[in-house]
Structure 1
Amino acid sequence: EVPGEFIVLFLFLSIQTFNTTNVTKLCPGAQCTFAFYGGESLYHKYIFIFQLANAFVFLWLVNFAIALGQCTLAGAFASYYWASRKPADIPLWPLFSSFGRAIRYHTGSLAFGALILAIVQLIRVILEYLDHKLKGTQNSFTRFLLCCLKCCFWCLERFLKFINRNAYIMIAIYGKNFCTSAKEAFFLLMRNVVRIPVFAQEAPALNYYWVPLLTVIIGSYLVAHGFFSVYAMCVDTLFLCFCKLRKEKYYFVFQTHSSMHA
């Protein structure tokens, strides 16, 4: 352990060295501060805010990585669906081509969608923190209000994940911005809401989480989850392409019928 006298001497010499340099002339607002245990510095005073900022950036990066993967898969599957002559019109490397388009043209849209989701997730983290702090309180109304907020933001997160997923598919197909793609995907799904349960049944999800946990085979869970994620993304992309193609065919038939009776 370092004696306290040496620490005081080191701080004194550091301050004297700082005062004798020309740092204050180059940077008039520069100050020499030290971080002490016990919250003496600005870092310790605002450490909770810094931790929230780190958590927010982490959530943003994770959601951006997920969005990039979903957009890449959607672009690869859509290039197969919209190819007139298969396999002549399919790109040689559809996955790499889709990844390049997503990085080059759609980074801002993907980051914006990830930002919205990260904000909601950060609010959920704060609510969980408050719930942990107020667990021993006797105020029933506070606990009820906190429980309602947690439920509402959980539903909001699920809804945003659904919107973002389909928005990324439309971004990969048509290259429009996030808001326009989300609106078109939402109304396209609402016009074909009857078909959604049929496609949802064809894209199974890994619901029985206790199986890999009881058998202690974490690797099998990761492989299965990754496989079904790709499979579900393929089904969702093809479904939106089908709905869009059906809408365009209906519009073409309607225009032809109107011109014949004009």
Structure 2
Amino acid sequence: MSSLSSHSEPQTYMFSQMRAALSIAKSVDILEHVYSLPTPQAQEEAMAAIRAIEREAMAAQVAQPGLVEVMSYLDSRGVRKGICTRNFNTPVAHLLNKFLPDTHFSPIVTRDFRPPKPHPAGILHIARTWGLLRGKNTESSNSDGGAQSDGQVIVLDGEGGAGKGEGENGTEIEESDADASGLIMVGDSIDDMTAGRKAGAATVLLLSDVNGHLAEHDHTDLVIRRLDELVPILEEGFKTRHATSP
């Protein structure tokens, strides 16, 4: 379980490049700005500028330490994996083909999904796609026990380019019957941790040089420094420090 940026080493320099290209301040959400532009043409031109930066960064992706090991473990246990990313589909496909060509992720929720993190809709959509519904969920990667062969894992994007994440049909979706309590969300941003907490999932922060302040955040259940640290954690039984209700 990891964010898209947890698959590859963080490329946070992209954010400043995107804001410079769009002439917006650091405090402005990049995709909120794009979607607020007055015409479809202006929105598409701004989005094209963002995609160009993402494509350039895509070529420099480097795998996170422990990525292959943890994915091999999850594959061997039959754990399902999904992605919810702020990127568009091309960098996602490139990353998976480059580092994890034999690992299956489904569904893959990209920028075409709304509303974005820190809203929990993307996580709940994955849970619902897997048939995890309130009152009907008998499968879990239990936060009080070890990873099970039918456990659930969600893979979320913490760096992800610009994304706001849009709905598959361009509209906000309602996932009120989805049950994400059996999911573990791994990411590297406050949006990841908050989206996971709001969805009712357990949250794992992949620590980096820029997110240490999130280690003690109320929305963070567990902190790791390498992805393969998850293997003994899941084997011994994942225990959160918070309740898993939203």
Settle same-fold status: TM greater than 0.5.
Answer: no
TM-score (norm 1): 0.25
TM-score (norm 2): 0.26
State the structure with bigger RCO (CA 8 A, min sep 6), 1 or 2. Answer: 2
Instruction: Considering fraction of residues, name the structure with more strand.
Output: 2
Instruction: Considering fraction of residues, name the structure with more helix.
Output: 1
